[in-house]
């Protein structure tokens, strides 16, 4: 795992070529957030899904696809932290992008990363050797899962919901789109590069939805019971921001049970889809359920 | 021309499918700016460039590519108008997106349009019938011209330059990237769909750079000498925002001459590249030089 993370870090560090004629401050702002560490969960899932297919796949294609999705994830954090959105001053223990570079540059760094994600995904598609329809599916799915019907829609619902999320279903819509969609996208991208069958892609969609939702509920739980030094942010921030959470609706214990049930559903989906090497995917499910940050 | 604009308008109006499960307010905010009229210059250039090749091309592919680029253009206007950027309250005679929907939703509407542009371009690429490398080039070029080394970089330089653009070269960098790059992208996308040669793509790049720069200088001139009711915004807004312009550096008369020279360079580039039907492209050059809004 550590070795893979190192590979991903070095691919990300090279993702904006030195020869680009780009204002330095914009490039700095993009790299500031892109290279801020983090679990690199999404690129790791791309690699794990490609590996699960058991097919010969081009590692470079999977690595590039992982970088593309990490760029989307990173831009979304930059924009979500803006004063007009969640107004956060710290992220992973460091000042947020706009606190360092100013709001204008943070908006543009986000736009730049979002745009470059599609360049990087088209490079992944070219490296994958897939034919035109399948190569283009890598691009169009990234857009679908990241855009208005995906992650952006989830964030919009979250913003609108702050004026009062009243139902658990609304909270679930937010989590599914804000978090799960990009996880599903990562899995499908890796599997597509590994030449997965339609059935396998569908199994991974269910795996990713369940895991993404579990991941988010676990976030809610950690915000109440975690270790501040491991989380890199103060506890009870949801409460302070008057955000409704799973524990708020159904209590802490039922939330923990829900994480367990979703993890099992994820495991079952993948176990039944005839993957040649599903081991690492299944490890992920366990890891996410038991994480402390 | 009117017929083509009507085609583009109707394609844009259908570009966000009704069956999408998207927060209504986000969808409204996206459509508010996407369907706010305007010249539709970029989609028209895509169609003109495809036509110039004289090749049989799929009109649907060119129309979709035009919509994709118009989405990029529209998102850039939404984000540029934000309080942290140019802080504009009006655009084309209507309140700007964030004045109607609030800053958070305006940021997300921009992100949504930017992301959907790549879905739409991948649909265009699929409809074009091009092979994988050429289909993916449509996507990667959109990213390159719209991103940090293109339009986003131009806007960043513009923001940074407000603390003092001191040279004409810096202003030219801003115009080339902020405006010309997306025009070049439109021309190349249309020509790629029409199976243009490399030489023709290069000629269109020069045509677009010259025309894009001329377009922006014409904007600077119109801000000083235009008709407010046609422009849909008050005169002398550059001066009020302390923006340096071509007329500021070289005077009004030399700026007008420069527009003429650039237009001629554009015409020469296209005239010498062996296009089968360059007529409409050449009309564009004349139209842009003589426009009053």
pLDDT of residue A163: 60
The maximal CA–CA distance of chain B, rounded, in angstroms, is: 54
Do B85 and A104 count as a contact with CB atoms less than 8 A apart? yes
CB-based contact, A18 to chain B, within 8 Å: no
Interchain proximity A139–B142, CB inside 8 Å: no
Contacts of A146 in chain B (CB under 8 A): 115
Find, in chain B, the residue whose alpha carbon is nearest to that of A107. B79
**Domain enclosing residue B54, as ranges:** 2-290
Chain-chain contact of B114 with A114 (C-beta, under 8 angstroms): yes
- Cβ pair B22:A153 closer than 8 A: yes
Q: What is the pLDDT of residues A101-126, one digit of tens each?
A: 999 999 999 999 999 999 999 999 99
Q: Which of B85, B109, B136, B157 to mutate to test the interface with A (most CBs of A within 10 A)?
A: B136
CA B82/CA B103 separation, integer angstroms: 7
Mapped onto helix, strand or coil, the DSSP state of residue A94 is strand
Q: What is the pLDDT of residue A129?
A: 96
The whole-angstrom separation of Cα A287 and Cα A290 is 5
Instruction: Pinpoint the alpha helices (H) of chain A.
Output: 2-13, 24-34, 41-52, 59-81, 97-101, 103-128, 132-146, 151-161, 168-175, 181-193, 198-225, 228-231, 237-240, 246-250, 252-271, 279-290
C-alpha to C-alpha distance for A203 and A225, rounded to whole angstroms: 32
Residues facing residue B91 across a β-bridge: B94
Residues of chain B with pLDDT under 50: none
Phi, psi of A90 (to 5 degrees): -130, 150
Which parts of chain A register pLDDT below 70? 162-163, 232
Beta carbons of B148 and A115 less than 8 Å apart? yes
CB contact under 8 A, B25 and A143: no
In the structure, how many helices (H) and strands (E) does chain B have? 16, 2
Query: In terms of Cα–Cα distance, which of B176, B71, B111 is closest to A111?
Result: B111
A104 Cβ under 8 Å from any chain B Cβ: yes
Q: Do B159 and A108 touch (CB under 8 A)?
A: yes
A153 neighbors B26 (Cβ within 8 angstroms): yes
CB contact under 8 A, A114 and B115: yes
A23·B160 Cβ contact <8 A? yes
- ipTM for the predicted complex comes to 0.95
CB of A250 within 8 Å of any CB in chain B? Answer: no
CB-based burial label for A142 (10 Å; 0-12, 13-18, 19+): buried
Q: Name beta bridge partners: A95.
A: A90
Please give the pLDDT value at position B230. 76
CATH of the domain at A236: 1.10.600.10
The interface residues of chain B toward chain A in range 59-88, judged by CB-CB distance below 8 A, are 75, 79, 82, 84-85
Interchain CB distance below 8 Å, B104 and A126: no
> Minimal Cα–Cα distance from A211 to chain B, Å?
21
Q: Note the pLDDT tens digit of each residue in B231-284.
A: 767 788 777 777 788 998 999 999 999 999 999 999 999 999 999 999 999 998
What Rg do the C-alpha atoms of chain B give, in angstroms? 18
The sign of the CA dihedral B9, B14, B16, B18 is positive
Please tell me the predicted confidence (pLDDT) of residue B163.
60
* A95 three-state secondary structure: strand
B219: CB partners within 8 A, 6+ apart: none
Find the Cα–Cα–Cα–Cα dihedral B106, B110, B115, B119, rounded to 10°. Answer: 100
B121 CB neighbours in chain A (<8 A) are: 139
What is residue A73's predicted lDDT score, i.e. its pLDDT?
A: 98
Touching check for A162 and chain B: CB below 8 Å? no
Give the Cα separation of B174 and A22 in Å (integer). Answer: 11
DSSP run (H or E) holding B2: helix B2-13
Q: For chain B, say whether A28 makes contact (Cβ under 8 Å).
A: no
Q: How many domains does chain B have?
A: 1
Tell me the residue length of chain B. Answer: 293
- All residues at 6 or more sequence positions from A254 whose CB lies less than 8 Å from its CB, including other chains: none
Chain A touched by B184 (CB under 8 Å): no
Structure tokens at B241: 């925002």
């Amino acid at each position: 795992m550590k070795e893979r993370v190192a590979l991903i870090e070095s691919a990300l560090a090279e993702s904006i070529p030195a020869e680009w004629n780009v204002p330095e401050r914009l490039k700095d702002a993009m790299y500031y957030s892109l290279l801020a560490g983090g679990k690199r969960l999404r690129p790791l899932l791309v690699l794990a899904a490609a590996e699960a297919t058991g097919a010969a796949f081009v590692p470079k294609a999977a690595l590039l696809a992982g970088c593309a999705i990490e760029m989307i994830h990173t831009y979304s954090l930059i924009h979500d932290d803006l004063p007009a959105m969640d107004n956060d001053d710290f992220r992973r223990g460091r000042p947020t992008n706009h606190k360092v570079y100013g709001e204008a540059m943070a908006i543009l760094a986000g736009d730049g990363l979002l745009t470059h994600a599609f360049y990087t995904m088209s490079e992944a598609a070219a490296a994958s050797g897939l034919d035109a329809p399948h190569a283009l599916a890598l691009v169009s799915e990234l857009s679908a899962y990241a855009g208005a019907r995906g992650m952006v829609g989830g964030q919009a619902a979250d913003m609108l919901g702050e004026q009062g999320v009243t139902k658990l279903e609304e909270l679930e819509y937010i989590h599914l789109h804000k978090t799960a969609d990009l996880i599903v996208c990562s899995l499908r991208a890796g599997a597509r590069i590994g030449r997965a069958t339609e059935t396998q892609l569908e199994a991974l969609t269910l795996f990713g939805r369940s895991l993404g939702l579990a991941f988010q509920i676990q976030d809610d739980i950690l915000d109440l019971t975690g270790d501040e030094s491991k989380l890199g942010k103060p506890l009870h921030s949801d409460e302070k921001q008057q955000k409704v959470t799973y524990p708020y609706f159904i209590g802490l214990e039922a939330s923990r049970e829900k994480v367990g049930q979703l993890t099992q559903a994820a495991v079952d989906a993948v176990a039944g889809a005839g993957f040649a090497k599903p081991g690492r995917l299944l490890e992920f499910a366990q890891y996410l359920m038991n994480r402390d940050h």
